[in-house]
Amino acid sequence: MGGLMFYAMDSPLGEIRIFVKDDMPLGISLTGHKTVKTAKSGQPPRRISQLLLAIERYFQGKAIPDAFACSVLENYVEQPPFAEAVLREVIHISIGETLSYGEVAAMAGKPGAARAVGNIMSSNPFPIIIPCHRVIKSDGTPGGYGGHPNMKIWLLGFEGVPISLR
């Protein structure tokens, strides 16, 4: 059994890490820093290569297919039923679109659970693949993004959604 390790890639946002254990992806971290040399080297396993390629293609302006994101959710994420429903709804928010936390809550079957949706977004293990950055506050401001609201603004701007902290 292997220990916790990560594969890293550079992106316009800085280093992106895919954490793995026993060749199973556990999650993605957007560090905002330059890549460090402590990442695992060598050819990553197929499932990790698929995640890296999907992220690379995203930064080339190509959409991550909903089917791919759904397979990540089904195969690598264990969530309570409401959280899973929320993440499924978020997967279907297209590039260039946003929904409010409240809208996502209603779509997932719990109108009024905007705060719960915010908590689920903050613990999304696969940002970019499951595009939690497309969920914003009802007043049009971005809301949180792992302590990096400027990353959320950058990602939305990259997708053609003008947004600011106000």
Q: Are 15 and 36 in contact (CB under 8 A)?
A: yes
For residue 121, what are its two tokens?
């977004």
pLDDT of 22: 86
For residue 160, what are its two tokens?
């053609």
Confidence tier at 150 by pLDDT (50, 70, 90): confident
124: amino acid identity, one letter: N
Confidence tier at 43 by pLDDT (50, 70, 90): confident
Range 28-46 average pLDDT: 71
Active site residue 132: yes
CA distance 39 to 1: 18
CA distance 117 to 96: 20
Q: What are the residues whose beta carbons fall under 8 Å from the beta carbon of 75, sequence distance 6 or more?
A: none
CA distance 7 to 51: 10
Catalytic pick among 48, 132, 153, 156: 132
Q: What are the residues whose beta carbons fall under 8 Å from the beta carbon of 114, sequence distance 6 or more?
A: 100, 101, 102, 104, 105, 138
First to last CA, the chain: 48
Task: Give the residue extent of every domain in the chain.
Answer: 4-59, 66-158
> What is the architecture of the domain spanning 66-158?
Orthogonal Bundle (1.10)
- For the full predicted model, state whether its pTM sits above 0.95: no
Strands (DSSP E) along the chain, which ranges? 4-11, 14-21, 24-30, 99-100, 135-136
86: amino acid identity, one letter: V
* pLDDT, tens digit, 9 for 90 and up, residues 91-120: 999 999 999 999 999 999 999 999 999 999
